Structure 1
Amino acid sequence: MAALDEARAHLAKAREFLEAAELTNDLALFNAAASNAVTSGINSKDAICLALTGRTRKSDNHAEAVAELKNAGAAGRDSSTTLSRLLKLKSKSQYQAAPVSPADAAKSIDWATRLLQSAQSVAPG
């Protein structure tokens, strides 16, 4: 699959997971909302990197994902802080016993939305 086609596939997933985040947030399922927002953001990162550099790495290391985005050009640099904030909720929403607050779930959706908008600007389709 060509890099731009792969970017668009990640963009479609980012949209789907963002919609799931919004729906689960509306149902007061805040852990699920934040988890879906994180997955959306990761897919947006992949779309941005693929569109701008032709490649993306798959890593469980959050710092590497943020660095990859930061090095992907202006759109990546502008989005890297947002991704960093969003990834800080990954463990809490998916692995830790403490629940995600309604405020943090709302923030995660806002951050995922920003990342999706950046991805759409570099990989329209």
Structure 2
Amino acid sequence: MTALTDAQAHLAKAREFLEAAEVELAGGLCTASTSSSVLAGINAKDVICLSSTGRTGKSDDHKSAAVELAASGPAGRALETTFRRLIALKTRSQYTAGPMSATDAQKAFAWATRMVQAAADALAS
């Protein structure tokens, strides 16, 4: 696969996770929605990095992913804070026993929406 085809595949995944997050949020499934939003944002990060640098890291260390995003160019720098906020919810939404609040789910969805739109814009340019 090329960087372009990888970016297109990640954008499709980002959109799918974002759509799932929206459905889950509408159904009151706040933990699932937050988790799907996080996954949408991670895939959007990959699109932005691939479209601007031709590569993306595949580390479990999402803090380094935020650094990678910021280093990818102006679009990545503009989204670094949004991405950091989003991935900060990963552990709570995917690994801990407690539920996510509706407020957290709504914020995560908004942040993921911003990331996926920026990824689509990056790929289109």
Task: Tell me if both proteins adopt one fold, taking TM over 0.5 as the criterion.
Answer: yes
Number of the residue aligned with 1:91: 91
Corresponding letter in the other structure for 2:124: P
Q: Give the Cα–Cα distance (whole angstroms) in 2 for the partners of residues 91 and 53 of structure 1.
A: 28
Match in the other structure for 2:10: 10
| Distance across 2 between alignment mates of 1:95 and 1:2 | 33
Identity %: 53
- Deviation of 1:124 after TM superposition, in Å, equals 2.4
1:35 and 2:32 matched: no
Identify the residue that residue 106 of structure 2 maps to in structure 1. 106
Q: Which residue of 1 aligns with 2:24?
A: 24
Residue 124 of structure 2: SS of its match in structure 1? coil
Quick check: 1:8–1:124 contact (8 Å CA) kept in 2?
A: no
Distance in 2, matches of 1:56 and 1:37, equals 19
> Is the 8 Å Cα contact of residues 34 and 104 (structure 1) preserved in structure 2?
yes
| Off by >6 Å, runs of 4+ in structure 1 | none
CA distance in 2, matches of 1:8, 1:62: 21
Gapped regions of structure 2 (runs ≥ 5): none
Distance 1:68 1:24 in 2: 30
Partner of 1:118: 118
Of residues 43-52 and 3-12 in structure 1, the stretch that sits farther from structure 2 once superposed is 3-12
Q: Distance in 1 between matches of 2:54 and 2:67?
A: 16
Backbone CA RMSD of aligned residues: 1.0
CA positional deviation for 1:119: 0.5
Unaligned runs of 5+ in 1: none
Scaled by the length of structure 1, the TM-score of the pair is: 0.97
Rounded to whole Å, the distance in 2 between the matches of 1:78 and 1:11 is 18
Q: TM-score, normalised by structure 2?
A: 0.97
Distance 2:78 2:101 in 1: 26
